[in-house]
Amino acid sequence: GLEYITQVISLSDSEGKTPKENWLVLQRAMYYSLNQTDKVVDVLERMVKLYNKPEYWVQLSGMYGETGKEKQQLAVIESAYQQGFLTSKSDLRQLAQVYLYNGLAFKAAVVMSEAIDKGIAEKTAKNYAFVAEAMIQAKEDEKSITYFVKAADLSEHGKYEQRLAEVYVNTEQYEEAADAARKALDKGGLDFESNAFVALGMAQYNMQNFDASILAFEQAEKHKKSQRLAQQWIKYVKREKVHAETLKTALL
Cβ neighbours of residue 190 closer than 8 Å, sequence gap 6 or more: 157, 158, 159, 162, 184, 196
Residue 128 has pLDDT above 70, yes or no: yes
Q: What's the whole-number mean pLDDT along residues 146-161?
A: 97
Could you give the CA distance from residue 165 to residue 200 in angstroms, rounded to a whole number? Answer: 8
Checking if the pLDDT of 191 tops 70, the result is yes
Q: Is the pLDDT of residue 247 over 90?
A: no
- Rounded CA-CA distance 73/63 in Å is 8
Contacts of 113 (CB under 8 A, 6+ apart): 131, 147
| Predicted local distance difference test score (pLDDT) of residue 1 | 78
Predicted confidence (pLDDT) at residue 111 exceeds the cutoff of 80: yes
Q: What is the pLDDT of residues 38-87, one digit of tens each?
A: 999 999 999 999 999 999 999 999 999 999 999 999 999 999 999 999 99
pLDDT(4) > 90: no
* Burial profile 126-160: b = 16 or more Cβ within 10 angstroms, e = fewer: ebbbbbbbbbbbbeebebbbebbbbbbeebeebbb
Cα gap 44→252, rounded to integer Å: 80
* pLDDT value of residue 252: 60
Check residue 113 and give its pLDDT: 97
Residue 2's pLDDT band, with cuts at 50, 70 and 90, is: confident
Give the rounded distance of the alpha carbon of 76 from its chain centre. Answer: 21
Q: Is the pLDDT of residue 250 over 90?
A: no
Q: How far, in Å, CA of 93 to CA of 126, rounded? A: 12
Average pLDDT, the chain: 95
Closest by Cα among 151, 104, 101 to 127: 151
**Mean pLDDT for the stretch of residues 96-123:** 96
Residue-level pLDDT at 107: 97
Can you give the pLDDT at residue 77? Answer: 95
| pLDDT, tens digit (0-9, with 9 covering 90-100), for 137-152 | 999 999 999 999 999 9
Q: What is the mean pLDDT of residues 174-199?
A: 96
- Residue 119, helix vs strand vs coil: coil
Question: Residue 187 in contact with residue 209, Cβ under 8 Å?
Answer: no
- The predicted structure's pLDDT at residue 243: 92
Rounded average pLDDT over 89-110: 95
